[in-house]
């Protein structure tokens, strides 16, 4: 079981988000009606040469159609101008979801959250341990590449707590600026202190289907273990109303195990040290995430009013870190072309390095087996997998 660690430092202040929607002005209007004079020698609608003379009714119909098109364009552009912020009435609503004593699922509220400061800050918002796990596809006991992977998750254990957050990552890999500048979706799937329930959920399962009979889902494999910091810029632009810039927030990590990256880590885009921008989506705004789009409203995150007040645009920085404590929260991971030190600064980089060394010591304390086996024990996931993925090999 991951042990509780005492805080050795307070978080610095951190994030918010206000992105003005970019919409071009539209001057659409109905075209002027032109009434054609029809010669008595021609009947209505009769062709003369290669052209057909239009009747007054046809002209009116075309004018009406053009007017409707222009109105629709104006409505769409007006909608684009709206920043997709949360309605004021919604911001004051208290959470409606049930409270979960165990690990909370989307739409539920964790019962045992640590006392949190819900104010935006700058600097280190949170630090802790991070574990990277993947699940093979159904009936794929021995995956050989990323094509055989079904799901990819991060497990976050904030410093000084027994809390664990399970976060699903889209595209089955971390964002990689060298391959694409496009962001990747994420979603908080579960939050709680019951590590046994986490282990059971990540373990293998067998189920029945009407068409294919008995199906087997292999258990998760651990690909890496390391430390992380959630950090908001300490040098925000002065006199800016753009909360995304003022509270710009990065997620930076440093790997403790494995020391040598292999084909598994390469496939999942896990580096020795990495960083990306982390944002959270307004749950009231339309989603383009197909997974979340199928979820009913009662599975949406149950943010308290103190957090809802920050939703003035569709996406805002994940600041404060408490946004990550509500299952169902949609995240956006934006790749960075910089190093962790360039994005979070030397001071935060030192904290990250110190946290990573603490994890290495925790792993070394475990008895029996190689480093991979010890890492699984430190996580409380021993027996879940053989540990070959932590050595760089697909398993």
Task: At 64, list the tokens.
Answer: 């009406």
Give the β-pairing of 109-110 and 99-100: parallel
pLDDT tens for residues 46-102? 444 444 444 555 555 555 555 555 444 444 444 444 456 666 666 667 777 889 988
Number of independent structural domains in the chain:
2
Residue 265 sits in the same domain as residue 156: yes
Greatest mean pLDDT among 46-55, 207-216, 247-256 lies in 247-256
Burial label, 350 (beta-carbon count in 10 A; 0-12, 13-18, 19+): exposed
* In a shared domain, residues 255 and 291: yes
Q: State mean pLDDT over 323-350.
A: 96
Residue 178 resides in a domain: yes
By the 8 A CB rule, do 199 and 384 touch?
yes
- Shared domain for 356 and 324, answered yes or no, is yes
Judgement on whether residues 60 and 173 belong to the same structural domain of the protein:
no
Domain span holding position 66:
53-81
Q: Is the pTM of this model over 0.75?
A: yes
Are 133 and 160 within one domain? yes
Phi and psi for 215 in degrees, rounded to 5?
Answer: -125, 145
pLDDT: which is higher, 228 or 244: 228
**CA pair distance 380, 357, nearest whole angstrom:** 19
User: Could you tell me if 66 and 198 lie in one domain?
Assistant: no
Among 81, 98, 131, the domain boundary falls at: 81
Where does residue 120 rank: exposed (0-12), middle (13-18), buried (19+ CB within 10 A)? buried
The pLDDT score that the predictor gives to residue 67 is 53
Q: Examine the domain organization and report whether 202 and 60 are in the same domain.
A: no
Mean pLDDT of the chain: 82
- Cα(310)–Cα(321) distance, integer angstroms: 13
Is 31 a domain residue?
no
Do 284 and 146 lie in a common domain?
A: yes
Q: Are residues 307 and 181 in the same domain?
A: yes
DSSP category for residue 203: S
Q: What is the dihedral of CA 369, 371, 377, 383, to 10 degrees?
A: -60
129: in domain: yes
């Amino acid at each position: 079981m991951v042990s509780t660690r005492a805080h050795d430092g307070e978080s610095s202040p951190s994030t918010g988000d206000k992105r003005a929607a970019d919409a071009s002005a539209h001057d659409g209007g109905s075209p002027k009606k032109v009434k054609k004079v029809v010669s008595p020698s021609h009947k209505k609608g009769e062709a003369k040469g290669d052209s057909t003379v239009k009747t007054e009714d046809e002209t009116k119909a075309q004018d009406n159609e053009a007017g409707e098109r222009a109105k629709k364009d104006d409505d769409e552009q007006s909608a684009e101008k709206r920043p997709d912020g949360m309605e004021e009435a919604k911001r004051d609503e208290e959470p409606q979801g049930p409270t979960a004593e165990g690990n909370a699922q989307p739409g539920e509220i964790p019962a045992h959250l640590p006392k949190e400061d819900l104010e935006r800050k700058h600097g280190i918002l949170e630090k802790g341990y991070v574990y990277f796990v993947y699940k093979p596809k159904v009936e794929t006991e021995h995956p050989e590449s990323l094509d055989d992977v079904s799901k990819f998750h991060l497990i976050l254990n904030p410093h000084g707590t027994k809390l664990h957050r399970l976060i699903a990552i889209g595209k089955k890999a971390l964002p990689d600026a060298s391959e694409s500048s496009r962001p990747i979706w994420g979603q908080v799937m579960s939050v709680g202190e019951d590590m046994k329930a986490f282990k059971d959920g990540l373990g293998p399962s067998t189920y029945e289907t009407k068409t294919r009979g008995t199906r087997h889902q292999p258990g998760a494999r651990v690909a890496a273990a390391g430390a992380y910091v959630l950090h908001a810029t300490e040098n925000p632009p002065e006199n800016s109303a753009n909360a995304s810039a003022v509270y710009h927030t990065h997620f930076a990590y440093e790997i403790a195990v494995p020391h040598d990256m292999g084909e598994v880590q390469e496939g999942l885009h896990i580096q020795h040290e990495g960083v990306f921008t982390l944002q959270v989506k307004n749950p009231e705004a339309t989603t383009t995430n197909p997974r979340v789009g199928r979820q009913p409203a009662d599975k949406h995150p149950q943010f308290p009013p103190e957090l809802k007040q920050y939703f003035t645009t569709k996406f805002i920085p994940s600041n404060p870190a408490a946004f990550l404590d509500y299952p169902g929260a949609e995240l956006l991971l934006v790749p960075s072309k910089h190093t962790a030190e360039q994005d979070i600064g030397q001071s935060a980089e030192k904290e990250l390095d110190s946290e990573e060394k603490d994890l290495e010591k925790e792993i070394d304390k475990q008895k029996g087996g190689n480093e991979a086996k010890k890492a699984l024990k430190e996580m409380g996931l021993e027996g879940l997998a053989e540990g070959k993925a932590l050595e760089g090999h697909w398993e």
